Amino acid sequence: MIMRIGIVILPDQRWVESERRWRQVDEWGFDHAWTYDHLGWRDLVDGPWFDSMTTLTAAAATTRRIRLGTLVASPNFRHPAAFARQVTALDDVSGGRAVLGLGAGGIGFDSAVLGGETLPPRQRVDRFAEFVELLDLVLREDGTTWRGDWFAAVDARNNPGCVQTPRVPFVVAANGPRSMRLAVRYGQGWVTTGSGGDDLDAWWDGVADLAVRLDKSLASAGREPSSLDRYLSLDSAPVFSLRSADFFAEQVERAAALGFTDVITHWPRSSSWYAGDEAVLVDVASRLPELRRMTD
């Protein structure tokens, strides 16, 4: 197995600065690049923040080969019928390079800014299940009429449809059993942030446990394990993956040993979340072929 390596570029810079980053990761040879799909995120809500789909569409126009996606889009502020139009446009502009990370949506700014109530976990997953089902339908079929407890659509159109068939790939975020079943049913990929608190080894133990749970979900559904790509967000660990190039290589090896096909890091920021040195990223980029061979 050759590990694919991706990177998140937060939408917290004006395009005059951000464009350079998207173009650079494409030239370096990263396999996929992502941005957060939020209206504001944690304490960065007080700083600059830009729309994910507009950012990804601009990135599609300035890159040539890298896959581009949301990490992750959620029903906190999106309706499947309207979102499907944006997804279709991104897939068209990118020439079929779009990939769609989807999640249930957490609590915080996104869940409160539109004035709605903050839902408990069970209801968030209920809503997520409808979101994924309806989005799948609208992206695959033209003229969808559908009604659930959280969403409805009347003759929702998808013409001309996605460049990719039958639709843009879904990478479903899941740590719990119900969301894992959604990943197994609808996903071309599964992404996890792991679990385990402030201890790095404990976090990896949590990741290993989640990988086993996914295998059980796949077996229960009668789905071939190799048919679902497995993405790990390395920076959900208590230590930033780009602490050094050697440390990053160690984390990639650990992910590969657990059966992950893809890992994702973050472009280092000057402070706060994902604070680090861009020189380390440059070093990692120069070693991408070596990192892939190491896991083959």
Q: Are the beta carbons of 181 and 217 closer than 8 angstroms?
A: yes
pTM over 0.75: yes
DSSP E strand stretches across the chain? 4-8, 32-35, 67-73, 98-102, 144-147, 152-156, 170-173, 189-192, 229-233, 262-266
- Whether 152 and 133 have beta carbons less than 8 Å apart is answered as no
The three-state secondary structure class of 99 is: strand
pLDDT values of the chain reduced to their tens digit, one per residue, 296 residues:
789 999 999 999 999 999 999 999 999 999 999 999 999 999 999 999 999 999 999 999 999 999 999 999 999 999 999 999 999 999 999 999 999 999 999 888 888 888 888 899 999 999 999 999 999 999 999 999 999 999 999 999 999 999 999 999 999 999 999 999 999 999 999 999 998 778 999 999 999 999 999 999 999 999 999 999 999 999 999 999 999 999 999 999 999 999 999 999 999 999 999 999 999 999 999 999 999 987 77
Q: Are 194 and 210 in contact (CB under 8 A)?
A: yes
Element (H, E) at 111: helix 109-112
